[in-house]
Amino acid sequence: MANGWAPDGAVQEQIDDTVTDAVLRARGMMPSGDGLAECEDCGDDIPQRRRQALPGTRTCISCQAIRDASLRSAGINRRGSKDSQLR
């Protein structure tokens, strides 16, 4: 049951779109190509186990954590309520 003028299934479509966007964003951030033995940010060695777990990695865990923290965003607001649009 939809609210107001929204068609049936509109809420589920919003949920599906949000999940799809998150998956695509995560896949786009995955490392690809040739990896490095040394971190491109700090120059420290990248552990062999990390290079095996993430082929194509170019940063150590510490530098990647810093990069991830700087990339966090609020995301897309699909609700459309007046309160959320004013923020």
pLDDT, tens digit, for every residue of 39-67? 999 999 999 999 999 889 999 999 999 98
The kind and range of the H/E element at 64 are helix 61-71
Phi, psi of 38 (to 5 degrees): -120, 145
Is the distance from CB of 37 to CB of 45 less than 8 angstroms?
yes
Name the burial class of residue 14, with classes exposed (0-12), middle (13-18) and buried (19+) by CB atoms within 10 angstroms of its CB.
middle
**Over the chain, what is the mean pLDDT?**
81
Q: What is the chain's length? A: 87
The 10 Å Cβ neighbour count of residue 66 is 13
Residue 81 has pLDDT above 70, yes or no: no
What's the confidence (pLDDT) of residue 31? 80
Q: What is the percentage of the chain residues whose pLDDT exceeds 70?
A: 76
Residue 16 has pLDDT above 60, yes or no: yes
